[in-house]
């Protein structure tokens, strides 16, 4: 009778270990990340801003979608319209939904193009791009 109890107990213990080892492990399927939705002020959909006195020009970038788990990288470049050399560049990694910048170094009278790229740090293919033009009086 004693051996029957020990045998039954041993069977239960072995069954628990076997069933625990058969459970599906997590991490195989990484949940998909929501596509980035970004809003900027000034609006960056090819918009042309009215000339302003400057000398600094504010730029607000708001992540409207769910923030990716590792945050986003925000790249800003500003160059004269038709030019190839940027006079202002900024690159930051952020996990904040609202990000404020100040564009400096703008020369008077020239039309400038602001290019903005927001990229998920955890999924490089999840990217948003926008641009707008502005000028200093």
Specify the pLDDT at position 32: 84
Dihedrals phi, psi of 84, to nearest 5 degrees: -115, -15
CA distances, 128 to each of 3, 5, 62, 96, 99 (Å): 69, 66, 12, 16, 15
List pLDDT tens digits, range 119-137: 999 999 999 999 999 999 9
Hey, what's the torsion of the CAs at 32, 33, 34, 40, to 10 degrees?
A: -160
List pLDDT tens digits, range 66-119: 999 999 999 999 999 999 999 999 999 999 999 999 999 999 999 999 999 999
Rounded to whole angstroms, the Cα distance separating 100 from 74 reads: 11
């Amino acid at each position: 009778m004693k051996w029957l109890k020990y045998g039954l107990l041993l069977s239960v213990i072995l069954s628990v270990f076997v069933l625990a080892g058969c459970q599906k492990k997590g991490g195989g399927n990484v949940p998909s990340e929501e596509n980035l939705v970004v809003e900027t002020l000034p609006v960056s959909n090819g918009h042309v801003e009215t000339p302003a006195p400057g000398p600094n020009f504010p730029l607000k970038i708001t992540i409207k979608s769910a923030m990716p788990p590792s945050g986003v990288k925000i790249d800003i470049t500003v160059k004269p319209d038709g030019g190839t050399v940027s006079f202002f560049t900024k690159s930051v990694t952020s996990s904040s939904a609202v990000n404020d910048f100040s564009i400096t170094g703008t020369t008077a009278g020239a039309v400038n193009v602001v290019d903005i790229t927001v990229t998920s740090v955890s999924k490089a293919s999840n990217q948003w791009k926008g641009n707008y033009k502005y000028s200093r009086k």
